[in-house]
Structure 1
Amino acid sequence: MSVKSTVHTVTYDLLRSLGLTTVFGNPGSTEETFLQNFPKDFQYVLGLQEASVIAMADAFAQTTRRPALVNLHSSAGLGNSIGNLVAAYHAHTPLIVTAGQQHRELLIGDPYLSNRDAANMPRPWVKWSYEPARAQDLPEAFMRAYAMAVQPPAGPVFLSIPLDDWNHPLEGPAVVRDVSRTYAPDPERLRRFAERITASRRPALILGPDVDRARGWQAGVELAERLNAAVYSPPLADRASFPEDHPLFQGSVGMSVKAIGDRLAGHDLVVVIGAEVFRYYPYVPGDILPAGTELLQITDDPAVAGAARVGDSLLGDALLSIELLTAMVGDGSGRAQPEPMPRRHDLPETERSPLTPDEVYATLSRARPQHAVFVNESTSTMAQHAEWLPAVEPDSFFATASGGIGWAAPAAVGVALGDRDRGVTRPVIALIGDGSFQYSVQGLWTAVQQNLAIVYVVMRNHEYSILKSFAELEETPGVPGLDLPGLDIASVARGLGCHAVDVTSTGDLEKEFILALESGATTVIVVTTQPEKTML
């Protein structure tokens, strides 16, 4: 007697054909019908809280450059995940996020665990959101979700699935479709851009996160060298897209209207590729662009192009656009060579107590292993990271794209799992502030359970340092809730199964960092540091 196919069997066959065999999740009663008889060729990555689950899947998808499948619990679990779903949306990460819904026959009465408006709940932080009208529509909904997630601009999508849909009889197989993941720029418009760039006397390139996502690192180097142009990183970049030790690299363009306008003074043309114009943080008024400066933007996201307050835009894949542009622009060898960015490598002879962030990063720089990937969520020390640990390879720097905290601790897990999935071995190092670490600390448990070699360096300055800098900028004295006394981070980490140590000197930090790299296990190093005033 043959076994009849169901929505469950047909959907799982579809997921196999799409390569979606890793499921990141935290199960609930409305998800168990999906997870029943979980196939042996699938992997379930358990996170202990839904925000951690989303961040793991986000970093996994970014690292593998494949969409990731997420399974959350009804409306409550989806609600827990929203903060990191915002980060995935801004990072253009293709995620297929699912959540269980109550039994269809109960929905009319708003039962316990139902999502009253499932399709609207995750908006606007998903590209598409849907609850199938019929159980038999579910495989087709998954196929559409996949297509929507991977097409540019890539991003998360959401499916709400009533728990009784999975056992519904259904003839298979599901229809499998293939869709384009890139598109080329308008050739005539690109030619006009190339003419304006060739005519520029002192151009500046700003290469954003989408360049690295599109595998455009080397292409960006070739374009910059052909133009002999200064290269900047955009404000608050969540990935690095240009070697930060390159002679043409000039550092970050800044974070405020005034800082960016001042930084770009002297350039007659600014070319922004794969980034927003601009991702501002503090409000410091000024001119968006200096007088006499023009701007060109290339992006695969129409919304990003539409939101730009200045300049002319062109829609196209970052890598294709850069390659085509490099072949069109004139040689820039006649332009004056930009002055190399000054780098400060001097520290006081006497070690501070507590250590300064510069001393911490300098120590890590001395012991930095080759081909390391860094995940950073120490908001007040990003400048020190850029100074002492410049990105020198593609896919080697990750940060949250949203500005919220609680992303990096589980994201490091996603990076390590993504490396394992694609057969790559490299050190994964997460640099996190003590405040950020509390938001998704449960991600450490997953790292331990998955036997991942991750070194977490937690800088313990006993406060939300970045917010104290903002309080000064905004002239708001007496703000409560900015101090963080009494956190025993190492003990919490040990409770989740990690090896954890507290250090107070550069010597101990270097020793423990090297031991952690050699151990092949998940290690948390807590280093006491002085608060850092951030220049905003």
Structure 2
Amino acid sequence: MAERSTVRSVTYDLLRTLGLTTVFGNPGSTEQPFLQDFPEDFTYVLALQEASVIAMADAFAQVAGRPALVNVHSSAGLGNAVGNLVAAYHGNTPLIVTSGQQHRELVPGDPYLANRDAVELPRPWVKWSYEPARAEDVPEAFMRAYAEALQPPAGPVYLSIPMDDWKRPLSGFTRVRTVSTRTAPDPRRLRAFAERLSASRRPALVFGPEVDRGGGWDGAVALAEKLRAAVYGAPLLDRASFPEDHPLFGGPLGLSVRTIGDRLAGHDLVAVIGAEVFRYYPYVPGDYLPAGTGLLQITGNPRVAAAARVGDSLLGDPGLAIELLLDLVEDGSARTAPDPMPRPRVLPPAPNSPLTPPEVYATLSRVRPADAVIVNESTSTMAQQLEWLPTTRSGSFFATASGGIGWGTPAAVGVALADRERGVRRTVVGLIGDGSFQYSVQALYTAARHELPVVYVVMRNHEYSILKSFAVLEETPGVPGLDLPGLDIASVARGFGCHAVDVETTEDLEREFKAALDAGTTTVIVVPTQPQKAML
């Protein structure tokens, strides 16, 4: 006898058609009617806390190049997830986040575990938030969620689904659609931008995360070389979009209004492609641009364009815009080549104890495989990471797009899972601070269960070092809670099933890292380090 067609069976058929057969989740009681008799052709990735669920799915979707499906629990689980949902929103990651709602019969009485004002809770960090009015509308809601998540600017969406909807009879759903994922820039305005770039005496290019997300890495290199323009990294990058060892690369712009303005001095025109203008933090007053400097912005996100404090914006896919600009701009070989970023790379004559972050990164630079991926959430040492471990390949650097911590540890899991699904073998290196590591440490369970080739290097400086740097800048002495004594990170990691070691010297670090490359599972290496004052 054939199985009765229900909202659940019809929805699963639609999910298969859309390629959404991996579900990231942490199950709750209101989600069980959706998850019951879980299909053998679907994969369920269990994370032990909803913040980790979102970050894993976020990184997975970025690497896999398609939306990821997330299932968390009602309002309580969704509340846990919101912190990393902010990162997915800022990173334009297409996620379909679902949660169960209480039984429709009970909802009017505000029952336990009801998702009160369900569509309001995840706002403003989703593009679309919806709870179907009827059970029969569930498949169509998924179809629209898929379209909303993918269409530019991509981003997370949310569906709240009453738990009794899944068993309602439904004959089928056939209105499967496809949507566009790229928008072309206005040709006339793009030509005007090209003319200004061609006429510039000393142009600068700032490539942001949208470029790498859109496959524009090679085009960015070609454009910089044709214009012979200096290239800077956009502030607080969550994806690198230009090889950081290239002779035209001048380093990061900085974080404050004053620092960025000073950094751009001497350039008569700055083209910001695929980035905000700018991600400012902290507030240090100054000129947004040096006198006499113009700014052009190309972004696929209208909110990012509208929020720019200076400059002229053009909406359109940055990768496509770069391809078109290559044919429109004039050759800049007559320009004087900009000075490359200085790389002092100074190490002490004798090793320190504890080690300094540059000593850790110098060691990793000798043993890191060329195709390794870096996921960085050691916020106080990112300048040293850039110096010693520059990103030289597309899709090989990831960081949080929101500034909140607790993203990096589970994101490394998502990268490794997506690589495995794509049939790609490469080591994922998670560079995590000891403070950051505590926010999503339960992600180690998922990494160990899936035997993922992730090597976490945790720098143990016994404090929230980045916050102490901000305390100096903001002149706020005596802030409590910035020290972190008594953490036994290796023991916790072993408890989750990982291989974990404490190391003290560069020789120990090199040996254990090499061993981790062949371990066939997840390794956590804990390195005591001296606090590093962040470059703000």
Deviation at 1:342, TM superposition (A): 1.2
- 1:386-401 matches, cutoff 5 A: 386-401=386-401
1:25 matched to 2:10: no
Does the CA contact (< 8 Å) of 1:139 and 1:174 recur in 2? no
SS state at 1:380 partner = helix
2:45 match:
45
Cα distance in 1 for residues equivalent to 2:174 and 2:130: 18
Cα distance in 2 for residues equivalent to 1:9 and 1:390: 48
2:196 match:
196
What are the Cα deviations for residues 111-157 of structure 1, in whole angstroms up to 9, with x where unaligned? Answer: 00001100010000000000000000000000000000000000000
Does the CA contact (< 8 Å) of 1:140 and 1:174 recur in 2? no
Does the CA contact (< 8 Å) of 2:151 and 2:181 recur in 1? yes
SS state at 1:438 partner = helix
Compare 434-443 and 344-353 and name the one that shifted more.
Answer: 344-353
SS state at 1:295 partner = strand
What are the Cα deviations for residues 54-110 of structure 1, in whole angstroms up to 9, with x where unaligned? Answer: 000000000011000000000000000000000000000000000000000000000
Matched residue type, 1:273: I
SS state at 2:106 partner = helix
Cα distance in 2 for residues equivalent to 1:3 and 1:70: 26
Does the CA contact (< 8 Å) of 2:140 and 2:173 recur in 1? no
Q: Structure 2: which 5+ residue stretches go unaligned?
A: none
2:509 match:
509
Does the CA contact (< 8 Å) of 2:490 and 2:500 recur in 1? yes
1:80 match:
80
Does the CA contact (< 8 Å) of 2:383 and 2:535 recur in 1? no
2:496 match:
496
Matched residue type, 2:414: G
Cα distance in 2 for residues equivalent to 1:260 and 1:302: 23
2:314 match:
314
Cα distance in 1 for residues equivalent to 2:344 and 2:394: 24
Does the CA contact (< 8 Å) of 1:135 and 1:166 recur in 2? yes
- 1:21-420 matches, cutoff 5 A: 21-420=21-420
Aligned length in residues: 536
Deviation at 1:535, TM superposition (A): 2.2
Matched residue type, 2:317: D
2:482 match:
482
Matched residue type, 1:170: L
- 1:521-536 matches, cutoff 5 A: 521-536=521-536
Cα distance in 2 for residues equivalent to 1:111 and 1:163: 13
Compare 284-293 and 344-353 and name the one that shifted more.
Answer: 344-353
Cα distance in 1 for residues equivalent to 2:422 and 2:173: 28
Does the CA contact (< 8 Å) of 1:412 and 1:454 recur in 2? yes
SS state at 2:439 partner = coil
Deviation at 1:318, TM superposition (A): 1.1
SS state at 1:39 partner = coil
What are the Cα deviations for residues 411-456 of structure 1, in whole angstroms up to 9, with x where unaligned? Answer: 0000000101111111100000000000000000000111111000
Q: Percent identity?
A: 75
1:430 matched to 2:469: no
Cα distance in 2 for residues equivalent to 1:348 and 1:365: 16
Cα distance in 2 for residues equivalent to 1:159 and 1:458: 36
Deviation at 1:340, TM superposition (A): 1.6
Deviation at 1:348, TM superposition (A): 1.1
SS state at 1:166 partner = helix
Cα distance in 2 for residues equivalent to 1:3 and 1:440: 41
What are the Cα deviations for residues 371-394 of structure 1, in whole angstroms up to 9, with x where unaligned? Answer: 000000000000001000000000
Deviation at 1:2, TM superposition (A): 3.4
Deviation at 1:173, TM superposition (A): 3.1
SS state at 2:99 partner = strand
Cα distance in 2 for residues equivalent to 1:2 and 1:529: 63
Cα distance in 1 for residues equivalent to 2:75 and 2:191: 49
* Runs of 4 or more consecutive aligned structure 1 residues displaced over 3 Å after TM superposition: none
Does the CA contact (< 8 Å) of 2:261 and 2:288 recur in 1? yes
Cα distance in 1 for residues equivalent to 2:317 and 2:31: 37
Matched residue type, 1:246: H
Matched residue type, 2:368: R
Cα distance in 2 for residues equivalent to 1:480 and 1:295: 42
- TM-score, normalising length from structure 1? 0.99
Deviation at 1:521, TM superposition (A): 1.0
Cα distance change on mapping 1:93 and 1:376 into 2, 3 Å: same
Cα distance in 2 for residues equivalent to 1:15 and 1:115: 24
Deviation at 1:174, TM superposition (A): 3.5
Q: Structure 1: which 5+ residue stretches go unaligned?
A: none
Cα distance in 1 for residues equivalent to 2:145 and 2:75: 19
Does the CA contact (< 8 Å) of 2:232 and 2:249 recur in 1? yes
Cα distance in 2 for residues equivalent to 1:522 and 1:534: 29
Root mean square deviation of aligned Cα: 0.6
Does the CA contact (< 8 Å) of 1:88 and 1:401 recur in 2? yes
Does the CA contact (< 8 Å) of 1:24 and 1:45 recur in 2? yes
Deviation at 1:518, TM superposition (A): 1.5
- TM-score, normalising length from structure 2? 0.99
Deviation at 1:3, TM superposition (A): 2.8
2:8 match:
8
